[in-house]
Structure 1
Amino acid sequence: MHPPHLDLRLDGFEAADEQTEEAFWRAIQIEQTELTPLTEHHAPDGASYYVLHNRAVTWGVPGEPQLVALHLRRDPKAMTFRFDHATLPLPAMAQSWLIHRGCSPDGISLKPGMGTTPADEATRALEHRLMGDGDRFVLLHSYTDDDPDHVMTVAVLRCLDERSPSPFRVLHEDVDTESWTHTLREGGFATLAEAHRWCEDALSGEVSPLPPPQPTARSVPRPASHLPAPARRPAGRSR
């Protein structure tokens, strides 16, 4: 079965300027044949939103995030386009990034059969919350292990609410390749070192229960510049 074709709907459109053209080539076009659309939404105003899986990443730097959130903005009068994108480790984080750039939450659900299925209600609930929490956290590090015998992703985030008693969060996605399902859990840590230590242990096969994050009041929404940034793998981790 072939993966679905990525149609960026740019026939007849040109990049708005040379800088956009070069950036789009480096970020998207150079690996376009390796990008699989997990979901996409096309708004009436000419904007398009995509969550893409980049198959080429598995051959690159170990642990790099494999998902691309892409926001295309078209000018139908000038027949030009601009774009923003981010590489992120988890679908819910890519969806959150797009939602906070104007995408309808109902329009960006993953297509049936694209990716694994949530294994339990706790996973569904956490993913739903993460889709709306892009203004509360910044992504510090992530590591995606796509070894067929050990498929998991860990991500370390920092809470933007300085009053939070658990300022550092760990997200841990574990994939069951036999049932093609996944679980997602969240933990809270007082220090970045503790969060990194838990991730290093998990990636080494020593998975211990995540400490539940201490509840905190909803903070004032932050501007888009504070939304999740491209991830970096934890220091010292290699495949």
Structure 2
Amino acid sequence: MPTHEPTRPADRDPGPLLDFRVDDNVDEQTSEAFYRLIGVNEDMLDPLAEHHSADNTRSFYVLFDRTATWDHPGVPQYVALYLQRDHQRRTFRFEQAPLPLPSMAQSWLIHRGCPPESIALDPERGTVPADEATRALEQRLMRDGDHYALGWSYTRDDPDDWVTLATLRALDERAPSPFRVVVEEVDIQAGTHTLREGGFETVQEALKWCEGRLSGTGKALPPVKPAPSHSRPASAPKPAPDCSPGRSR
């Protein structure tokens, strides 16, 4: 269990409290489920981005979950939340997903109908990209996130080595480097982060690299092989692989 207070979002005025706009709901079953998954930790959820439709029937949130630091080691620290309201019936539905990177949360919301330009992260609420390579990869993960299946991930929020590892599998079986590892490293003092991607032929190779990175014996990320000019994305998603490693650390 970490002994430090989580500090990923910038240590600044938290701004207004979250408003999920479901106070008039009369569906007790949905309300109980929402409270159990989201509401119980509402005061520990920092909104990094949110968007509401003009008619207030849909809302999209990227949330940083400060309770994750006291959960099992390695759990994702971001939550993507999608709300749909029926004002006439005074009911609502919701979907939520814990994800290891904010760009993945943005992608999850975009593919549920959120306009990409409306879910940009608030630069005052977290670290910022350290370089153009990071910005480019974040944009690609937002745009093409549905081309990959997320497998195993691990977040270490040690201020001396704040790192997130995410293993992905390309849904197109013809894709070069079918397994990817995305690595985010955070410099808390500078308030910046870098994001890099490596390519692997098998899930075993990808997970072995991750174990090396966490133990301090990792090698440089192998580059992703370039895609052939005739390559096209798969027409339909396929199930995610079993990316569970033999051990967490």
Fold shared per TM-score above 0.5:
yes
Contact (CA 8 Å) 1:34, 1:56: kept in 2 or not?
Answer: yes
Name the amino acid aligned to 1:40. E
* Residue aligning to 2:92: 81
Shift of 1:167: 1.1
Pairing 1:33–2:47 present: no
Structure 2 unaligned residues grouped into runs of 5+? 1-11
Name the stretch that deviates more: 199-208 or 35-44. 199-208
The one-letter code sitting in structure 1 at the alignment partner of 2:60 is Y
Provide, for residues 69-106 of structure 1, a one-character-per-residue CA deviation record: whole Å limited to 9, x for no partner.
00000111112110011000000000000000000000
Q: CA RMSD in A?
A: 2.2
- Which of 26, 39, 51 matches 1:14? 26
Partner in structure 1 of residue 116 of structure 2: 105
Could you tell me which amino acid in structure 2 is paired with residue 100 of structure 1?
Answer: H
Q: Distance in 1 between matches of 2:153 and 2:246?
A: 10
Q: Tell me the residue number matched to 1:44.
A: 54
| 1:135 aligned to which of 141, 146, 150 | 146
Counting only pairs closer than 5 Å after superposition, residues 58-73 of structure 1 correspond to structure 2 as: 58-73=69-84
Pair 1:234–1:178, CA change in 2 (3 A): farther
Q: Residue type of the partner of 1:81? A: F
The answer to whether the Cα contact below 8 Å between 1:142 and 1:233 also exists between their aligned partners in 2 is no
Contact 2:149 2:170 in 1 (8 A): yes
| Contact preservation (8 Å) 1:63, 1:233 | no
Q: Is the 8 A contact 1:136 1:222 kept in 2?
A: no
Distance 1:232 1:72, change over 3 A: farther
1:8 & 1:165 partners in 2: Cα distance?
A: 42
Aligned match of 2:8: none
C-alpha separation in 2, matches of 1:232 and 1:14: 40
Cα separation, 2, equivalents of 1:122 and 1:235 = 32
3-state SS of paired residue (1:132): helix
Superposition deviation, residue 208 in structure 1: 2.6
Q: Does 1:201 align with 2:231?
A: no
Q: Deviations over 1:159-208 (max 9, x none)?
A: 10011231110000011122110110011100111100111111122343
Q: Which runs of 5+ in 1 are unaligned?
A: none
The alpha carbon displacement at 1:236 in A equals 1.0
Output one character per residue of 1:25-74: Cα deviation in whole Å (capped at 9) or x when no partner: 22111211211111100012410000001111100100000100000001
Instruction: Specify the SS of the correspondent of 2:123.
Output: coil
C-alpha distance in structure 2 between counterparts of 1:120 and 1:207, whole Å: 23
Amino acid at match of 1:33: D
How has the CA–CA distance of structure 1 residues 37 and 232 changed in structure 2, closer, same or farther, with 3 Å as cutoff? farther
2-structure distance, mates of 1:142, 1:162: 21
Partners of 1:28 and 1:232 in 2: CA distance:
27
**Paired residues, what number?**
233
- Separation (CA, whole Å) in 2 of partners of 1:107 and 1:147: 31
So what's the TM-score if we normalise by structure 2? Answer: 0.87
Matched, 1:152 2:166: no
| Distance in 1 between residues matched to 2:243 and 2:54, nearest whole Å | 35
**Partners of 1:28 and 1:35 in 2: CA distance:** 9
